Amino acid sequence: MSSLAAESLTVKRERATLIDGVSLSLGPSGSVAVIGPNGAGKSTLLRTLAGVDTPTSGCVRLDGQDLAGLASAERAQSIGFLPQTFEPHWDLSVADLLELGAARATALPADAVAKAKRTFELLGLEARRWSTLSGGERARVLLATVLVVDPPVLIADEPSAALDIRHRLETIRTLAARGSERLSVVVVHDLDLAFRFFERVVLLVAGKVVADAPAHDLIHDPCLDEAFGVRFERLKLDGRWLLRADS
């Protein structure tokens, strides 16, 4: 179990401020959805939290230790990062990718790779090359590659955006479920999925955290309407609140 904290995180690129003084305290367990309109800085925030990008000022702390001062191998073992898009330059096989993912860990249980294959239904797919996989298979392979070392922190940048509804539901459910024992921070585009599966929702607008609250509270907050520039109708269906957007 690990906790992750952002302290006055600011990221500037070419004079544009992408992340503007964000402070967040995350974990050690829980599922957190990050939502916000296009260009809010969600991807940048997640990449910085994962240590893939370095902040212009402020810092990210993993269990109190500044990521910038942490050995990159240690960071790679503790924080799993699922990028928005993934296209390997070589046509690796499923087994190759799992091997590269597993190599991050200094010590791994002997059955870790086999377990990842079972969990993500990759048995029989080991020899298949990346270029021959379907979108759903690719998503499962990527999840397995990142999660084979079972990192205490998972940071996922909307990996399900290109998937059909069934695979999308499966992926989001898997990511959110990790929050029961570990920390799972996920950019989610579909607001209903965010409010339905995640405990906590962080609303990001123009690089700033506008709201950070339990999902069942935030769904009623009028700041949602303002952030997305629409009028939401809150509908109650089978005891669950749903959002319907109107311009």
Partner 1 sequence: MRVWLGLVLALLLGLAVAACAGALWASPADIWRALSGDPSMASRLLVEWRLPRVLAAALVGALLGLGGTIYQGVFRNPLAEPYLLGSAGGAAVGATVALLVPLALPQSLLLPVLAFAGAWGATMLVLGIARVAGAVDAAGLLLAGVAVAAILGALRSFLMLALSDETVSLQVVMSWVLGGIQTPSWRGIALLAAIALGCLGLSLLFARRLDLLGLGETMATAFGLDTRRVVAEAVLAGSVIVAAAVAFGGLVAFVGLAAPHIARWLVGPLHKPLLPASALVGAIVVTLADAIARAALPPAEIPLGLVTAIAGGPFFILLLARRLRT
Residues near partner 1, by CB under 8 A: 47, 50-52, 72-77, 79-81, 83, 86-93, 96, 99-101, 103-104
Q: Which is nearer to partner 1, 29 or 48 (CB)?
A: 48
| Shortest Å, Cβ 29 to partner 1 | 21
Neighbours of 3 (CB within 10 A): 17
- For 91-96, the CB contacts below 8 A with 24+ separation are 91/129, 91/130, 91/131, 92/129, 92/130, 93/126, 93/127, 93/128, 93/129, 93/130, 94/122, 94/125, 94/126, 94/127, 94/128, 94/130, 94/133, 94/141, 95/126, 95/127
Distance CA 31, CA 186 (A): 8
Q: Which is nearer to partner 1, 135 or 214 (CB)?
A: 135
Q: Which is nearer to partner 1, 178 or 196 (CB)?
A: 178
| Shortest Å, Cβ 97 to partner 1 | 8
89 in helix, strand or coil?
coil
Q: Which is nearer to partner 1, 122 or 148 (CB)?
A: 148
| Shortest Å, Cβ 183 to partner 1 | 16
User: Do 188 and 1 meet the contact criterion of CB atoms below 8 Å apart?
Assistant: no
Q: Which is nearer to partner 1, 103 or 245 (CB)?
A: 103
| Shortest Å, Cβ 200 to partner 1 | 23
| Shortest Å, Cβ 95 to partner 1 | 10
Residue 230 in tokens: 């629409």
Residue 52: CB partners within 8 Å, gap ≥ 6? 81
